């Protein structure tokens, strides 16, 4: 068998409906990790879908548990020869809440539904569709070659959508078990629907609340307007001090150092495109002097996710006693994550907003990571993808969103190469999550080619993560 025949085989499996059947079965399992009632369902996904899929390929499987995690982790390995390269894969089977009532008529989060050149279903993009592509590609290579030609390890978790509780500790306690030469995994979107993409890390993410508690209750605006402070106005001014009217960050500690030359070179070849359903880029917003790709993949961004003061549903003529905002900083390598909130405190105090309270919104902090775009593993993967797809892949130093990638780079010391099988307009985390089937078909060929090439030899030697 040849590489081309293996890719042809996986495409034929897709064209005859085999992959659609597999994915439909997995989408139908409502693995909402944010729903406390779904604990047994999370376990069901591992036991009825993931374990049988790996064991059919000769993987040894075991459930790993940690006290912080609601569900176990499935670990699978197939060690063919200790002298061969070892590749760690990763995926998550949990999904965001289904939001059933908000989907278009005729669509359900728990039923894979083809409609107008799209496949709809919760998890098709994040992340069931993506790890299903990779498992099918592994199965195809094994079936065609009779062996992988490399050692494969895989970790499936069921809590990524709640911040991956327990994953860091699990990896710290089992470094030897997860030892590998490379993490090769899939999550997040491509740069655009048509262009295969590699990303090498992710922006960090910190969510926090800003609040002002001025007094015990509201007071009539006619009797007290002009005499007592309005927390909504104060908080609005406090937030306005953090960024300019065009979104430029004004806190020096939140501004990264100059972009490395290798990052600039990689991003110069990248054009941000959300597809026909994506929003239009506003060139005047964000850090001036940067390209759109540099602003979203190479820089930091501050967002106000929600703002509340008074009674928005039923406004009354009263000065509200409090105001609250949920905020977020997406940050890149070069920002001291431990100084994000202290720097914000110093900034607000120096601008006269000492009354603003700052509270972390959750315990989990996603750290910023990226490996060097000039790393040999990156070029190896890019060459393989180009051969399989006939397209030059985009190379992103990091994803614009956030993943627990620092666990793999910092705890396990791995090079990390992510090959996403989604696109920016897929509506992940929202109603009507979907993917174009032609993207999934192309992804199957790309991953089959990558796994085939891993078994052919000639892969880069391992180097330590700096």
Give the domains, in start order, of the chain with CATH numbers: 3-202+367-454 (3.40.630.10), 204-256+300-360 (3.30.70.360)
Confidence band of 431 (pLDDT split at 50, 70, 90): very high
pLDDT of 401 > 90? The answer is no
DSSP state of 254: G
Closest CA to 180 of 249, 84, 100: 84
Using one digit for the tens of pLDDT, what is the confidence trace for 152-162? 999 999 999 99
- In sequence order, the β-bridge partners of residue 307 are 325
What is the model's pLDDT at position 463? 47
pLDDT (0 to 100) of residue 427: 94
Say yes or no to pLDDT of 213 above 90. yes
Q: What is the mean pLDDT of the chain?
A: 95
* pLDDT-derived band at 276, boundaries 50, 70, 90: confident
Contact 335, 254 (CB under 8 A): yes
Rounded alpha-carbon distances, angstroms, from residue 378 to 151, 296, 372, 444: 19, 20, 8, 19
In the predicted model, is pLDDT for residue 274 greater than 90? no
User: Given pLDDT bands bounded at 50, 70 and 90, which one contains residue 363?
Assistant: low
Q: What is 84-143 written as a DSSP string? A: S-EEEEEEE--B----GGGSPTT-BTTB-EEETTEEE-TTTTTTHHHHHHHHHHHHHHHH
CB neighbour class for 2 (10 Å; exposed up to 12, middle 13-18, buried from 19): exposed
SS3 63: strand
pLDDT at residue 311 is higher than 90: yes
Confidence of residue 366 (pLDDT cuts 50, 70, 90): confident
Q: What pTM does this model have?
A: 0.90
| Distance in angstroms (rounded) separating the CA atoms of residues 404 and 335 | 17
d(C-alpha 379, C-alpha 297), whole Å: 19
End-to-end CA distance of the chain: give it in Å, rounded.
39
Place of tokens 């929202």: 430
- Alpha-carbon span 92 to 287, nearest angstrom: 34
pLDDT confidence tier of residue 466, bands split at 50, 70 and 90? very low
């Amino acid at each position: 068998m040849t590489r081309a025949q293996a890719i042809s085989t996986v495409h034929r499996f897709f064209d005859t409906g085999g992959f659609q059947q597999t994915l439909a079965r997995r989408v139908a399992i409502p693995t909402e990790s944010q729903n406390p009632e779904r604990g047994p369902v999370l376990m069901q996904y591992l036991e009825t879908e993931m374990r049988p899929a790996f064991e059919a390929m000769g993987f040894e499987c075991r459930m790993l548990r940690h006290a912080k995690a609601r569900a176990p982790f499935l670990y699978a390995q197939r060690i063919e020869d200790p002298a061969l390269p070892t590749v760690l894969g990763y995926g998550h089977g949990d999904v965001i809440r289904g939001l059933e009532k908000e989907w278009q008529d005729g669509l359900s989060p728990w039923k894979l539904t083809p409609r107008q050149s799209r496949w709809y279903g919760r998890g098709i993009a994040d992340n069931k569709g993506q790890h299903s592509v990779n498992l099918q590609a592994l199965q195809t290579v094994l079936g065609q070659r009779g062996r992988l030609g490399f050692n494969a390890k895989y970790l499936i978790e069921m809590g990524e959508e709640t911040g991956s509780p327990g994953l860091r500790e699990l990896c710290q306690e089992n470094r030897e078990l997860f030892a590998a030469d490379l993490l090769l995994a899939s999550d997040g979107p491509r740069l655009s629907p048509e262009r295969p993409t590699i990303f090498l890390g992710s922006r960090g993410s910190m969510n926090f609340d800003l609040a002002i508690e001025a007094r015990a209750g509201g007071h009539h605006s006619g009797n007290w307007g002009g005499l007592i402070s309005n927390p909504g106005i104060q908080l609005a001014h406090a937030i306005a001090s953090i960024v300019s009217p065009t979104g430029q960050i004004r806190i020096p500690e939140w501004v990264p150092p100059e972009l490395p030359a290798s990052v600039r070179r990689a991003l110069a070849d990248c054009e941000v495109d959300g597809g026909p359903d994506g929003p239009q880029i506003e060139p005047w917003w964000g850090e001036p002097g940067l390209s759109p790709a540099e602003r979203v993949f190479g820089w930091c961004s501050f967002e106000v996710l929600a703002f509340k003061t008074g009674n928005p549903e039923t406004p009354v003529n009263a000065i509200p006693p409090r105001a609250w905002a949920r905020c977020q900083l997406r940050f890149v390598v070069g920002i001291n994550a431990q100084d994000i909130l202290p720097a914000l405190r110093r900034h607000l105090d120096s601008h006269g907003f000492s009354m603003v309270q700052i509270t972390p919104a959750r315990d989990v902090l996603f750290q910023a990571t990226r490996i060097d775009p000039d790393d040999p593993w990156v070029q190896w993967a890019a060459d393989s993808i180009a051969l399989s797809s006939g397209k030059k892949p985009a190379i992103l130093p990091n994803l614009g969103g956030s993943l627990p990638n620092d666990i793999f780079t910092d705890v396990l010391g791995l090079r990390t190469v992510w090959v996403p099988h989604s696109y920016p307009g897929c509506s992940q985390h929202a109603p009507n999550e979907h993917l174009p089937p032609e993207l999934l078909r192309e992804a199957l060929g790309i991953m089959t080619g990558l796994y085939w090439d891993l078994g052919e030899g000639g892969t880069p030697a391992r180097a330590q993560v700096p």
